[in-house]
């Protein structure tokens, strides 16, 4: 398939793998601990596990799976609010598919649906707006979720609802923003990270310039990365090269999609509809200043938080749950006390086990395998052909 297969070429992967091994060898002499590279975005986490990218890296490089899975960082209290909204008899509650299974303190949206709530899966907020027009007697609420990747489409939908006077449409806004969270991670006193893979599709909206502070103020290299396995591997190579050469810069591997200044139209729509919240609660990370957005006063008529009374409770994560440590890179998924026992994709306790982009679910689904002695049978075959 065009524009897909080129980015999954096993021969190129092996070549990159060799270069990464060679580069790492030059660094490892000076440094005892393994290099830690955080992939901020859940899409990268998914690719890494799905394609077995770690199997191409030397043991001296570790991925730390970052907070960039919006489904995973959603706190239980917000899920409870969703359920409360969905269970109102007049409401059709619309959501992206992978948010359906996230556990609240009592139930998930999937369970609420089974119990009789009118919860519908949509592929775009515009589908929700169309539903509102088709059902004028019902209130259609869209569960707005995600980073800057999905924020513009939600903003455009609110603008359309406003222009078309669709008064029975509202947004339950849980959009979050990545930069303050990366900052919070960088400010952790026990930070060990050596570099970052920057999110691809968030950056398509906000641009690569938004990360300049990481290199300038914190001295950490970052490479904005695409989502195909070769993208990820090449980006790792770029980060490792920066480390080897003692540089800390913002580099853009995903230049075919990400411009330096982002998408001005999208950013303008976002700025028109949303404003920063003072704080937003993240599952596992706690409250982070200016990390979430809410609907501006001007569009209050489309804000479900203003339209309906919400329980709005802060629910602590289950005590046994170590999602926070995993999110910060202090624990690997399989080192969590309840990984694979009390917490599995079937009965997720922690959010990281819920979405396929969550580090724990990705590791559980794809990674529980001893891959020592790779590179895979096929890689060996290719190698033999090459000789």
Partner 1 sequence: MDDKSRRRVRTLRESHVNLSHGSGGKAMRDLIEDVFVAAFDNPQLAAMEDQAVFPFAELALHGDRLAFTTDTFVVDPLFFAGGDIGTLAVAGTVNDLAMSGARPLYLSCAMVLEEGLSIEVLRRVVASMQRTAQLAGVTIVTGDTKVVERGAADKLFINTAGVGVVPAGVSISAANARVGDAVIINGTLGDHGTAILIARNQLGVSCDVASDCQPLAGLVAAMLAACPDIHCLRDATRGGVATVLNEFAESSNVAIRIDEDALPLREEVRGACEILGLDPLYLANEGKLIAIVPGEHASAVLAAMRAHPAGECAAIIGEVCAAPAGTVVLNTCFGGQRIVDMLVGEQLPRIC
Residue 213, H or E segment: helix 212-218
Any contact of residue 226 with partner 1 (CB under 8 A)?
no
3-state secondary structure of 93: strand
Any contact of residue 127 with partner 1 (CB under 8 A)?
yes
**Token pair 């938004």: residue:** 210
Any contact of residue 366 with partner 1 (CB under 8 A)?
yes
**Token pair 């004028």: residue:** 136
Any contact of residue 357 with partner 1 (CB under 8 A)?
yes
Residue 112, H or E segment: helix 109-114
Question: 56 vs 274, which CB is nearer to partner 1?
Answer: 56
Question: 107 vs 307, which CB is nearer to partner 1?
Answer: 107
Positive or negative CA dihedral for 220, 226, 229, 234? Answer: negative
Neighbours of 305 (CB within 10 A): 18
The separation between the first and the last C-alpha atoms of the chain, rounded to the nearest angstrom, is: 28
**Token pair 């999954």: residue:** 8
Question: 301 vs 379, which CB is nearer to partner 1?
Answer: 379
State CA 89 to chain mean position distance: 32
Question: 117 vs 243, which CB is nearer to partner 1?
Answer: 117
State CA 276 to chain mean position distance: 19
344: its two tokens: 């599995």
Any contact of residue 356 with partner 1 (CB under 8 A)?
yes
Any contact of residue 125 with partner 1 (CB under 8 A)?
no
Positive or negative CA dihedral for 329, 79, 353, 126? Answer: negative
Any contact of residue 230 with partner 1 (CB under 8 A)?
yes
3-state secondary structure of 207: coil
Instruction: Report the residue from 67, 75, 221, 367 that binds partner 1 according to the rule CB under 8 A.
Output: 367
**Nearest-5° Cα angle at 79, 133 to 284:** 140
What's the CA gap between 180 and 288, in Å, rounded? 7
Any contact of residue 346 with partner 1 (CB under 8 A)?
yes
Any contact of residue 201 with partner 1 (CB under 8 A)?
yes
Backbone angles phi, psi at 275, to 5 degrees: -135, 160
CB of 121 to partner 1, least distance (A): 7
Any contact of residue 342 with partner 1 (CB under 8 A)?
no
Any contact of residue 110 with partner 1 (CB under 8 A)?
yes
CB of 316 to partner 1, least distance (A): 25
CB of 237 to partner 1, least distance (A): 15
**Nearest-5° Cα angle at 306, 303 to 311:** 115
Residue 139, H or E segment: strand 139-146
Instruction: Report the residue from 112, 128, 141, 145 that binds partner 1 according to the rule CB under 8 A.
Output: 145
Per rule CB under 8 A, count of chain residues that contact partner 1: 57
CB of 42 to partner 1, least distance (A): 9
Any contact of residue 121 with partner 1 (CB under 8 A)?
yes
Any contact of residue 371 with partner 1 (CB under 8 A)?
yes
Residues 58-97: x where in contact with partner 1 by CB under 8 A, - otherwise, as a string? ------------xx------------------------xx
Question: 72 vs 193, which CB is nearer to partner 1?
Answer: 72
Residues 297-336: x where in contact with partner 1 by CB under 8 A, - otherwise, as a string? ----------------------------------------
DSSP notation for 54-73 = GGGS-TTEEEEEEEE-TTTT
Tell me the β-bridge partners of 64.
38
Any contact of residue 21 with partner 1 (CB under 8 A)?
no
Instruction: Report the residue from 29, 89, 123, 372 that binds partner 1 according to the rule CB under 8 A.
Output: 123
**Strand order across the 250-252 sheet:** 61-68, 35-41, 195-198, 222-224, 250-252
Any contact of residue 224 with partner 1 (CB under 8 A)?
no
111: its two tokens: 């369970």
Stretch of 58-66, 144-152, 215-223, 253-261 lying at the interface with partner 1 (CB under 8 A): 144-152
Any contact of residue 375 with partner 1 (CB under 8 A)?
yes
Any contact of residue 19 with partner 1 (CB under 8 A)?
no
Q: Answer whether 241's CB lies under 8 Å from 249's CB.
A: no
Site residues, partner 1 (CB under 8 A): 1, 4-5, 8, 10, 13-14, 43, 46, 49-53, 55-56, 70-71, 96-101, 110, 121, 123, 127, 145-147, 149-150, 201, 229-230, 344-346, 355-357, 364-371, 374-379, 382
């Amino acid at each position: 398939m065009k524009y897909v297969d080129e980015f999954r070429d096993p021969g190129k992967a092996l070549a990159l793998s060799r270069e990464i091994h060679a580069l790492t060898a030059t660094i490892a002499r000076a440094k005892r601990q393994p290099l830690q590279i955080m992939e901020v975005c859940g899409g990268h986490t998914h690719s890494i596990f799905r394609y077995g990218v770690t199997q191409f890296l030397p043991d001296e490089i570790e991925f730390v799976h970052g907070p960039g899975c919006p489904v995973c960082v959603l706190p239980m209290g917000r899920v409870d609010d969703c359920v409360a909204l969905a269970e109102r008899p007049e409401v059709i509650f619309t959501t992206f598919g992978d948010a359906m299974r996230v556990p609240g303190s009592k139930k998930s949206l999937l369970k609420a649906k089974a119990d009789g709530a009118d919860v519908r899966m949509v592929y775009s907020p515009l589908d929700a707006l169309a539903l509102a027009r088709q059902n004028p007697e019902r209130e259609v609420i869209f569960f707005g979720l995600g980073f800057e990747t999905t924020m513009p489409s939600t903003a455009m939908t609110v603008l359309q609802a406003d222009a078309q006077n669709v008064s029975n449409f509202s947004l339950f806004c849980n959009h979050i923003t990545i930069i303050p969270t990366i900052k919070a991670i960088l400010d952790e006193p026990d930070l060990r990270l050596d570099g970052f893979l920057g999110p691809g599709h968030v950056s398509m909206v906000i641009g690569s310039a938004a990360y300049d502070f990481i290199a300038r103020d914190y001295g950490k290299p970052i490479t904005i990365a695409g989502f195909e396995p070769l993208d990820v591997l090449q980006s790792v190579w770029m980060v490792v090269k920066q480390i080897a050469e003692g540089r800390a810069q913002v580099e853009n591997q995903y230049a075919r999609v990400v411009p330096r200044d982002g998408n001005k139209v999208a950013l303008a729509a976002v700025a028109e509809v949303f404003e920063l919240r003072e704080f937003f609660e993240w599952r596992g990370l706690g409250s982070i200043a200016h990390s979430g957005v809410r609907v501006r006063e001007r569009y209050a008529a489309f804000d479900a938080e203003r339209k309906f009374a919400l329980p709005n409770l802060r629910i602590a994560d289950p005590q046994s749950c170590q999602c926070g440590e995993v999110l910060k890179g202090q624990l690997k998924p399989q080192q969590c006390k309840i990984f694979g026992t009390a917490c599995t994709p079937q009965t997720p306790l922690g959010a990281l086990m819920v979405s396929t982009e969550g580090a724990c679910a990705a590791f559980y689904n794809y990674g529980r395998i001893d891959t020592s002695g790779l590179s895979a049978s096929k890689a060996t075959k290719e190698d033999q052909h090459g000789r």
